[in-house]
């Protein structure tokens, strides 16, 4: 019996690198990030450096307590055990962006172990992805290749990282993306990571293998490096699965190797084989004593954990009556959920009950705002749009002051120029017209212009109602109140 | 004999053996100024044929001295809280000073200028010390004879055809030859104690963690330590007083109290309570009979004072050298990785076709001993060999520490030779690394255990080559070394000029 592509099962494990959002680097007091959340790579080159993070001979690392706190927080937020004693090790390899010739990392005794992330899967409901470990390490610098020579930027050198290593529990590219999104939401909600994937402060390597369905042993895996967006993770894995299945069906064998994903060509290519793999010669770093963690401190950090996305999602559904989908989108990013809650608070100050306005706020955020952030590739908190814009717009919409169509326009405009909702409404004449006389005139005009359809409508073709409301809205440049238009049209119809 | 000088000395009396006490007496009496003294030492340093100095920092030192002149003029005496006021010191060239070339005795770093000053030097200068220059050493502190320096060997200060010991050979020779009042050396497996023994001066290897390593270019991070090399025990105590203690820039520096070391160097022990441990593993065949008898005479002297000599055993001593050469080279292979010509080190590989060829060419700048150790260390850490070598060595290291802990239940201090022989002839052991490694057989165990040890001159062989007595104390008990060592020293003033006049 010969196998076909459908007979294969996919096995995926992810290694996620998250830059910790501490103000200073992991082993020195050099600035690690800009206050507004810009990563160091964005600034002028080699400005965030000191003798320690550029590896000057004779310098020594001193561990940042804040970085440990963030790493512990990351561990606790996914249910990890925090080890009372963990060891920093040197990972030795030569590369120009690694100033000491080794990276300080953790090897056989990591800080956190045995966590999990629950994800929503299509068809299978909730699924638990186990996390093996989280260890701390320092980031490397960045090579800049010029024509004929290369330069190194050490701004990123020794910025604290955590590596979150999952078990090979995912069975499709979609699941991998769901896991990555869930983890991203947790780490941005707890504030341990800024989560900007384009700037590389949340990045991932994927271990992918395939095996005939029902076979217990895993196939040989390939590690795909350099996948830096949710979309690329999905595409890279899908591509790699296809490659491996084709290889096996063609009588070939998957070899253990590291492959690099190229988003331009949507393909992976071999970077190094198992034989060429580095021997990192790990050994305990003699410059750093074992990291001993007081469990009391761990409990203190645990007690300060913010509400996590899963808890938040459940609360939004239960308390605000949001759909699971809307709640999921809102809690999918720490900054979006925070924004949502600020909008609700602002509405409360305007005398509205949160439960009455939550749905409307959610619609604007998961609709128009989500579209804008996705297009721009930034978090809502990085835009000119503020919770006040949203609250004012929502208030106008709910009171009938503007139409829902124009509410979207107000938001788009505020996103672009930051003007207040009132100013935008006035400047663009968006205030909704609810003056019955004026609207009746519009309806009369539309009926006159569409006499044929009107005859059909009054003759019983009810579904033309939408057409007439739409024409009225168009004629009123979106300012007419659609509910009133409907009422007037129906009255006219019954009058014949 | 310098420290027996009764009258307050002036510039003409301050010769090769000046101690801090003498210099300060002269300063206080208005017979000497810091710049006069500094000028004198600078001239000697510039004119020496020992090869001890790699760099004389004339302008920097004179600027420091002039500032001290002003203070002395204003205050009329050495200001309190400045235990090293106006004291010219030499600095081993493995310690960084902001803006001062630091070569580590290596061609690789012949142009390296660090942008910061290490803690030890910074604290010494804050205590009033004047840095005269950078002292020669075995490349990256790897060696026992100072023959591994890329910038030429250092002559033994009284017997120029012999080695001064290593790796702090420049420091040993400079102190003995009167090219500085005292010097900083570093000791990883004996690199202070061995040259101190060979040169006939005092050398202190501190407890691991007592002195910050920040600014010490690492050879073996878990063993490296910075220590003083001086004419007298009290001067070593002074230097430690100034530079020791916790440093937030070194995570391995110990946050333990710093007792008054200067006082302990001037305090006679209560001899009736002193138990001196004599480890049988250190008095073995193969040790030079003249070394053995000198050390025995020192033990007899302690006994004559009323101390009790007790037999102790350090049973794992025979594994110490082998274990050391696994741990030290493993760490070295990692520590020296940064010298690849990209960030640090010269770059003869410029223009090679790819990165690997570029690295390969650049790394040829290391000398043979450094290459040997990097290769050994890389092997010992390799996957598949780690457990058999590095891990095993760490386990034996723990046993070596236990040996000392057990021995110190029976004694207050351990006394033994520093080295099995006196200074050997240059070239005598260069062809046989193993013979060279065995020179450290008695110093390595205390290094592996992190214990402090001091070398004090206790005699000379028939050629006039000095012999060192090693005292080893439990961790952070340097006070015992100062107290017991200074007592011996005061009773034996002739030990200060063993081997006659320096060249």
B287 within 8 A of B442, measured Cβ to Cβ:
no
What is d(CA A169, CA A128) in angstroms, rounded to the nearest whole number?
8
Q: Answer whether A434's CB lies under 8 Å from A484's CB.
A: yes
- The b-or-e profile of A124-142 (16+ CB within 10 A means b, else e) is eeebebebbbbbbbbbbbb
Facing residue for A289 by CB, picked from B112, B116, B251: B251
Helix (H, G, I), strand (E, B) or coil at A268: strand
pLDDT in tens, B308-365: 999 999 999 999 999 999 999 999 999 999 999 998 999 999 989 888 999 999 999 9
Mutate to test the interface with B, among A280, A281, A289, A291 (most CBs of B within 10 A): A281
pLDDT tens-place string over residues A101-153: 999 999 999 999 999 999 988 777 889 999 999 999 999 999 998 888 889 99
| Closest Cβ opposite residue A58 in set B96, B342, B359 | B96
Shortest distance, CA B389 to any CA of chain A (angstroms): 12
For B137-185, write each residue's pLDDT tens digit.
999 999 999 999 999 999 999 999 999 999 999 999 999 999 999 999 9
B338 with A58: Cβ contact below 8 A: no
Cα separation of B44 and B133, whole Å? 12
CA B485 to chain centre: 16
When pLDDT is averaged across residues A386-391 and rounded to a whole number, the result is 92
Distance CA B200, CA B198 (A): 6
Given a cut of 50, whether residue A441 has pLDDT beyond it is yes
Distance of CA B490 to the CA centre of its chain: 22
Residue B1 pLDDT grade (very low, low, confident, very high; cuts 50, 70, 90)? very low
Residue B3's pLDDT band (boundaries 50, 70, 90)?
very low
pLDDT tens digits, residue range A44-95?
Answer: 889 899 999 999 999 999 999 999 999 999 999 999 999 999 999 999 999 9
Q: Which pLDDT belongs to residue A42?
A: 53
Query: C-alpha distances in angstroms, B273 versus A423, A457, B259?
Result: 92, 118, 20
Please check whether residue A244 is in contact with residue A222, taking contact to mean a CB–CB distance below 8 angstroms: yes
Inter-chain CB proximity A283 and B386 less than 8 Å: yes
Whether the Cβ atoms of residue A379 and residue A346 lie closer than 8 Å to each other: no
Computed over every residue of chain A, the mean pLDDT equals: 91
Contact check, Cβ <8 Å, B359/A56: no
Query: C-alpha distances in angstroms, B414 versus B47, B460, B467, B487?
Result: 40, 21, 17, 15
pLDDT band for B4, please (50, 70, 90 cuts).
very low
Closest CA to B453 of B290, B183, B228: B228
Task: Measure CB to CB from residue B337 to each of A61, A94, A152 and give the nearest one.
Answer: A94
With CA atoms as reference, the chain A residue closest to B219 would be A58
- How many CB atoms sit inside 10 A of residue A417's CB? 10
List B92, B134, B205, B429, catalytic entry:
B92
CA distance B308 to chain A (A): 38
Least Cα distance to B237 among B84, B129, B135, B80 occurs for: B84
Supply the pTM of this predicted model. Answer: 0.89
Average pLDDT across chain B, whole number: 95
Q: How many CB atoms lie within 10 A of CB A403?
A: 23
Contact residues, chain B, for A282 at CB < 8 Å:
381
Number of Cβ within 10 Å of residue B261's Cβ equals: 25
Q: B138, B194 in Cβ contact below 8 A?
A: no
Among the partner residues A56, A60, A99, nearest to B250 by beta-carbon distance: A60
Beta strands in B109-224, from DSSP E residues, in sequence order: 129-135, 182-187, 202-205
The chain A residue lying nearest B354, using CA atoms, is: A149
A283 to chain B, any CB pair closer than 8 A? The answer is: yes
Q: Could you write out the three-class secondary structure of B361-407?
A: HHHHHCCHHHHHHHHHHHHHHCCCCCHHHHHHHHHHHHHHHHHHHHH
Give the residue extent of every domain in chain A.
5-300, 307-428, 436-494
Q: B390 at the A interface (CB within 8 A)?
A: yes
Question: Which chain B residues have a beta carbon less than 8 Å from that of A153?
Answer: none
Question: Which residue of B252, B340, B390 is in closest CB contact with A101?
Answer: B340
**B344 in contact with A at a CB cutoff of 8 Å?**
yes
Distance from CA of A161 to the nearest CA of B (A): 20
Under DSSP, the state recorded for A306 is P
The answer to whether the CB atoms of B221 and A102 lie below 8 A apart is no
The answer to whether residue A54 neighbours chain B at the CB level (below 8 Å) is yes
Q: Which of B131, B168, B191, B197 is catalytic?
A: B191
Q: For B343, which of A54, A279, A282 is closest by C-beta distance?
A: A54
Domain boundaries in chain B? 52-57+85-265+410-496
- Tell me whether A287 touches chain B (CB under 8 Å): yes
Measured between alpha carbons, how far is B343 from A190 in angstroms, rounded to an integer? 37
Provide the chain A residues 73-112 that lie in CB contact (below 8 A) with chain B. Answer: 90, 92, 94, 96, 99-102
- Give the closest-approach CA distance of B322 to chain A in angstroms: 19
Size of interface A-B (CB pairs under 8 A): 103
Establish whether B167 is a catalytic residue: yes
pLDDT at B2: 43
The pLDDT, as a whole number, for residue B16 is 63
Q: What is the Cα–Cα distance from A449 to A470, expressed in whole angstroms? A: 14
- Chain A nearest-CA distance from B285, in A, is 35
A202-250 pLDDT, tens per residue? 999 999 999 999 999 999 999 998 788 888 999 999 999 999 999 999 9
Interface check for B250 against chain A (CB to CB < 8 A): the answer is yes
A282 CA to chain B: closest CA distance, Å? Answer: 7
Task: Find chain A residues with C-beta within 8 A of B339's C-beta.
Answer: 57
Q: Is B191 a catalytic residue?
A: yes
Place A43 in a pLDDT band, splitting at 50, 70 and 90: low
Residues of A in contact with B338 (CB under 8 A): 55, 57, 99-101
Lowest mean pLDDT among A151-155, B5-9, B473-477: B5-9
Task: Tell me the C-alpha distance between A17 and A33, whole Å.
Answer: 17
Q: Find chain A residues with C-beta within 8 A of B381's C-beta.
A: 92, 281-283
| CATH 3.90.1300.10, domain B52-57+85-265+410-496, yes or no | yes
DSSP line for B302-358? HHHHTPEEEEE--TTHHHHHHHHHHHHHHHHHHHGGGBSSSSBS--TTTT-SSHHHH
Any idea what the Cα angle at residue B461 is, between residues B455 and B467, rounded to 5°? 5
For residue A380 the two structure tokens come to: 């809502």
Using the beta-carbon criterion (under 8 Å), do A57 and B104 form an inter-chain contact? yes
The Cα B125–Cα B2 span in angstroms is 25
Touching check for B185 and chain A: CB below 8 Å? no
**Residues of B with CB below 8 A from A94's CB?**
337, 340, 355, 359
C-alpha A465 chain-centroid distance: 41
- Choose the closest CB to A100 out of B252, B337, B378: B337
Please tell me the distance in Å from B478's CA to the nearest CA on chain A.
23
In this structure, CATH architecture of domain A436-494: Orthogonal Bundle (1.10)
Of A54, A60, A152, the CB nearest to B213: A60
CB contact under 8 A, B114 and A56: yes
Binning pLDDT at 50, 70 and 90, where does residue A38 land? Answer: low
Report the 10 Å Cβ neighbour count for A455: 10
């Amino acid at each position: 019996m010969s196998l076909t592509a459908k007979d294969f099962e996919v096995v995926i494990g992810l290694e996620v690198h998250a830059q910790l959002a501490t103000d200073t680097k992991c082993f020195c007091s050099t600035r690690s990030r800009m206050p507004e959340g810009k990563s160091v790579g964005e600034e002028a080159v080699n400005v965030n450096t000191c003798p320690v993070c550029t590896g000057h001979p004779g310098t020594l690392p001193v561990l940042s307590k804040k970085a440990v706190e963030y790493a512990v927080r990351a561990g606790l937020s996914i249910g990890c055990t925090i080890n009372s004693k963990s060891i920093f090790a040197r990972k030795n390899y030569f590369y120009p962006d690694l100033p000491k010739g080794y990276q300080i990392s953790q090897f056989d005794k990591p800080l956190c172990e045995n966590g999990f992330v629950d994800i929503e899967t299509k068809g299978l409901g909730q699924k638990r992805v186990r996390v093996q470990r989280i260890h701390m390490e320092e980031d490397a610098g960045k090579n800049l290749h010029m024509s004929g020579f290369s330069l190194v930027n050490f701004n990123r050198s020794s910025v604290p990282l955590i590596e979150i290593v999952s078990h090979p529990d995912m069975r499709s590219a979609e699941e991998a993306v769901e896991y990555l999104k869930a983890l991203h939401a947790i780490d941005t909600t707890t504030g341990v990571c800024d989560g900007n994937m384009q700037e590389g402060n949340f990045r991932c390597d994927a271990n992918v293998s395939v095996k005939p369905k029902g076979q217990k042993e895993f196939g040989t895996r390939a590690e795909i490096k350099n996948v830096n967006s949710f979309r690329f993770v999905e595409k890279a894995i899908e591509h790699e699965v296809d490659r491996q299945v084709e290889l096996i069906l063609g009588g070939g064998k998957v070899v253990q190797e590291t492959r690099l994903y190229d988003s331009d060509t949507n393909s992976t290519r071999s970077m190094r084989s198992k034989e060429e793999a580095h021997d990192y010669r790990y050994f305990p770093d003699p410059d750093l004593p074992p990291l001993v963690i007081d469990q009391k401190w761990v409990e203190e950090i645990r007690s300060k954990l913010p509400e996590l996305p899963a808890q938040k999602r459940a609360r939004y559904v239960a308390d605000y009556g949001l759909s699971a989908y809307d709640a999921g989108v809102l809690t999918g990013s720490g900054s979006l959920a925070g924004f949502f809650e600020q909008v609700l608070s602002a509405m409360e100050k305007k005398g509205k009950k949160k439960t009455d306005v939550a749905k409307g706020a959610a619609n604007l955020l998961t609709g128009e705002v989500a579209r804008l952030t996705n297009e721009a590739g930034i978090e809502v908190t990085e835009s000119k749009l503020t919770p006040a814009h949203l609250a004012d717009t929502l208030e106008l919409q709910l009171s009938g002051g503007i139409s829902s169509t124009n509410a979207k326009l107000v938001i788009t405009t505020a996103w672009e120029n930051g003007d207040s909702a009132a100013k935008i409404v006035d400047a663009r004449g968006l205030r909704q017209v609810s003056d019955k006389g004026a609207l009746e005139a519009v309806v009369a005009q539309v009926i006159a212009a569409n006499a044929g359809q009107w005859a059909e409508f009054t003759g019983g073709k009810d579904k033309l109602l939408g057409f007439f409301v739409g024409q009225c809205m168009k004629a009123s440049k979106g300012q007419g109140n659609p509910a009133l238009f409907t009422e007037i049209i129906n009255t006219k119809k019954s009058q014949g | 004999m310098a420290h027996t000088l009764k009258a307050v000395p002036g510039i003409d009396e301050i010769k090769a053996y000046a101690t801090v006490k003498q210099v300060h007496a002269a300063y206080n009496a208005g017979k000497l100024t810091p710049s006069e003294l500094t000028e004198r030492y600078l001239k000697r340093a510039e004119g020496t044929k020992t090869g001890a100095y790699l760099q004389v920092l004339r302008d920097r030192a004179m600027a420091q001295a002039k500032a001290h002149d002003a203070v002395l003029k204003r205050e009329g005496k050495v200001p309190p809280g400045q235990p090293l006021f106006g004291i010219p010191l030499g600095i081993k060239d493995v310690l960084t000073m902001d803006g001062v070339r630091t070569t580590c005795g290596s061609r690789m770093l012949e142009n390296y200028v660090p942008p910061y000053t290490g803690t030890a030097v910074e604290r010494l200068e804050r205590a009033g010390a004047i840095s005269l220059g950078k002292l020669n050493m075995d490349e990256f502190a790897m060696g026992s004879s100072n023959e591994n320096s890329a910038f030429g060997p250092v002559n033994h200060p009284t017997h120029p055809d012999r080695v001064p010991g290593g790796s702090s050979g420049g420091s040993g020779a400079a102190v003995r030859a009167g090219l500085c009042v005292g010097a900083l050396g570093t000791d990883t497996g004996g690199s202070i104690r061995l040259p101190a023994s060979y040169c006939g001066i005092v050398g202190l290897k501190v407890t691991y963690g007592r002195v910050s390593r920040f600014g010490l270019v690492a050879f073996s991070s878990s063993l490296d330590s910075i220590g003083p090399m001086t004419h007298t025990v009290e001067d070593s105590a002074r230097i430690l007083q100034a530079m020791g203690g916790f440093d937030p820039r070194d995570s391995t520096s110990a946050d333990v109290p710093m007792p008054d070391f200067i006082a302990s160097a001037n305090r006679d022990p209560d001899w009736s309570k002193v138990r001196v441990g004599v480890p049988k593993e250190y008095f073995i065949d193969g040790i030079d009979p003249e070394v053995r008898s000198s050390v025995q005479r020192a033990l007899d002297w302690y006994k004559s004072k009323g101390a009790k000599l007790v037999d102790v055993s350090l049973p794992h001593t025979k594994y110490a050298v082998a274990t050391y050469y696994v741990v030290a080279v493993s760490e070295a292979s990692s520590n020296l990785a940064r010298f690849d010509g990209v960030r640090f080190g010269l770059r003869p590989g410029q223009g090679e076709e790819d990165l690997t060829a570029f690295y390969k060419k650049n790394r040829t700048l290391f000398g043979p001993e450094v290459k040997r150790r990097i290769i050994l260390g890389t092997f010992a850490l390799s996957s598949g060999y780690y457990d058999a070598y590095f891990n095993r060595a760490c386990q034996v290291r723990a046993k070596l520490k236990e040996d000392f802990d057990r021995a110190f239940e029976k004694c207050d201090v351990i006394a033994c030779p520093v080295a099995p022989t006196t200074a050997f002839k240059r070239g005598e052991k260069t062809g046989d690394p193993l013979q060279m490694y065995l020179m450290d057989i008695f110093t390595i165990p205390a290094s592996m255990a992190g214990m402090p040890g001091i070398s004090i001159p206790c005699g000379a062989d028939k050629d006039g080559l000095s012999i060192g007595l090693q005292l080893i104390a439990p961790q952070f008990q340097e006070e015992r070394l100062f107290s017991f060592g200074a007592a011996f020293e005061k009773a034996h003033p002739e030990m200060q000029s063993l081997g006659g006049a320096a060249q």
